[in-house]
Amino acid sequence: MTFSRLRSRATREPPGRWLVLRRAALGALLLLATAAAAAGDERLQSIREADEIKTSDFDRFTQILQQLDAGRESLDAHERIYLRYLDAWRAVYERRYEPAIPELRAIADEAEDPVLRFRGLVTLTNTLALVGYHEEAYRRLNEVLDLQPQIADRHVRVLGYAVAALLNNQAGQYDTAVAFADRWLAEESDSAGICKALSLKVEAIYRSGKTPPGADAANGIDACNRSKELMFANRTRSFVAGFDLAHGRYDDAIALLQANYAEAESARYALLMTEFDSILAGAYLRNGDRVRARHYAQKAIDESTRNDVIKPVVDAYQVLYEVAKAEGDVRGALAFHEKYAAADKGYLNDTTARSLAYQMVNQQVRDEKRQIDVLNEKNQVLRLQGEVASRAAESNRLYVILLILGLASIGFWAYRTKLAQVRFQKLSRRDGLTGIINRQHFMDEAKVLLRAGAKSGRDICLILIDLDDFKVVNDTHGHIAGDGVLRETVATCQQYMRPGDLFGRLGGEEFGVMLPECSLDVACQRAEELRVALAATLAAGLDHPVSASFGVASSLQSGYDLRQLLIHADSALYRAKRAGRNRVESAVARTAAAQVA
């Protein structure tokens, strides 16, 4: 029956009858509205339930998301963006970073709900750090810390401390990471929050290597078990086991991880299992069980589906190399050593990139704040200028004084900013550990020397230096001793450098020397002098003497192309390694063969 017919009938029927019909219609509409509201409340409740259990019951979390996705069209705007955030979080957890990052960027930049925007920004920052977008990650971290005071919900606000602790751990700023974790703990009362905060704190303590995790680890695992945050509990256990492995307690590391292995697998977090398997591989190798060592090392590599340059993968390749070497499998050992060397170099480059990005962003933030201060002072000067201009003639002298002071202040801050920029530019060209030029600056200067050599037609030689068995020093004596060896290497080599020589650290334990106006024979003689000097210097005070292998290439054979020089010198270096280390090899034979072919 149409509305017009109802209306015509209402004119004929008694008022009481029409009143009953109207009340019935209003009641039906009310029931429909109530049902719709109830459905909306149910959908939002499901989204919140998924959010709460996403780390403690990932399977149930995934099931709820699938159910909600089927009815996505019925969601309102807030529910839809909330679900988009959880979908992106799930993609990150499953290591599907490519689709997650643009979605998180959109949520962090466009969400109207400040809480969702903050959570999206936190997850985005964490994900950018995971995939190696370090500079953007640290920039986003500053946005997180700027927005954090505006978040009233404590459970959301502490996420800022979490991602700050995480990124400072990755940048090697362990004391700062501990401070952020402690700030989180100071505001936290829930077991789940205490579990996650202590997990980050234990990670910082473990990676610093200063003291054992101790009571913080035990309390964190207990809090995780109470809140059923099993993934974080086992992440904390992996740090404890890693500390045990590093300090020779192999049985303790194996017992701890094996007792919780099945539980860790149930979390379905690939990175956690990579860490578990890598530590187990190292512990079994040290205990003499090569079969289990090989098994867990291969599992750790297989679980790293994105060719990650992370420490557990580097350690796993080293285990496979040592197992093959112990079993007399020369070909397998060589293959695994090459993979280990490539992974180790990638990890060191990634670590250096994180540290440089952290320093660069911090410097840029400081510069921006200085510029804001300068603008504020300039605005203040202009405001004072306007006030002075409106006064009588007797105020003119005050106006001049204030203007001069303001301009002087602006000049002073501009001068300070310029000094900071110059200082940062110098720092970016130097290796922070040894003080010599870094890889990028070495490459830039080497190209300049080669262009000059090409014009003059004079020979230029490249020497690549790589320390032998340097990993043994780090594993046996610790990274502090390894840093000392690197500094001693540089100090020894610098004694043999001549004016015009270019000397730099190319990464890890590899160094390069560019010799302008130098023949291949002379370069080989100088490399031999360096080899003898390093063998004598680095043997003192160490149970495992460290030597160096050298690869030499000349522009006479390689031309004035830096890439070709590096290829030939690197090939000679690997021949020196394969021939027994602690020797000098040149690229003459290889290039001569290539020319004949």
The Cα angle at residue 499 between residues 495 and 505, in degrees rounded to 5:
60
Q: What is the C-alpha separation between 504 and 483, in angstroms, rounded?
A: 16
Q: What is the C-alpha separation between 500 and 478, in angstroms, rounded?
A: 35
Per-residue CA distances from 105 to 124, 139, 582 (Å)? 7, 13, 51
For residue 437, give the DSSP letter: B
Q: What is the CA 493 to chain-centroid distance, rounded?
A: 32
Res 369: pLDDT: 63
Res 464: pLDDT: 96
Res 38: pLDDT: 47
Res 1: pLDDT: 38
Res 425: pLDDT: 55
> Average model confidence (pLDDT) for the chain?
82
| Closest by CA position to 285, among listed 251, 319, 257, 328 | 319
Res 375: pLDDT: 62
Taking 50 as the pLDDT cut, the residues of the chain under it are 1-38, 422, 427, 589-597
| Closest by CA position to 86, among listed 61, 118, 111, 113 | 61
pTM of the full structure = 0.50
Structure tokens at 146: 């700027």
For residue 560, give the DSSP letter: S
Structure tokens at 551: 């690869």
| Closest by CA position to 162, among listed 205, 201, 104 | 201
DSSP reduced 3-state for 463: strand
375 in the Ramachandran plot: left (φ > 0), alpha (ψ -120 to 50) or beta? alpha
| Closest by CA position to 466, among listed 555, 578, 349 | 578
DSSP reduced 3-state for 2: coil
Res 32: pLDDT: 31
Q: What is the C-alpha separation between 339 and 555, in angstroms, rounded?
A: 29
Per-residue CA distances from 440 to 341, 464, 591 (Å)? 20, 15, 26
Per residue in 206-217, pLDDT (tens digit) is 888 777 777 888
Q: In this structure, are residues 435 and 506 in contact, taking their beta carbons and an 8 Å threshold? A: no
Per residue in 542-551, pLDDT (tens digit) is 666 789 999 9
Q: In this structure, are residues 103 and 88 in contact, taking their beta carbons and an 8 Å threshold? A: yes
DSSP reduced 3-state for 448: helix
400-405: long-range pairs with CB below 8 Å, 24+: 405/381
Q: Name the strands in the sheet holding 584-586, side by side, starting at the edge strand that comes first in the sequence.
A: 502-507, 510-516, 460-468, 547-554, 584-586
Query: 23: exposed, middle or buried (C-beta count within 10 Å: 0-12, 13-18, 19+)?
Result: exposed
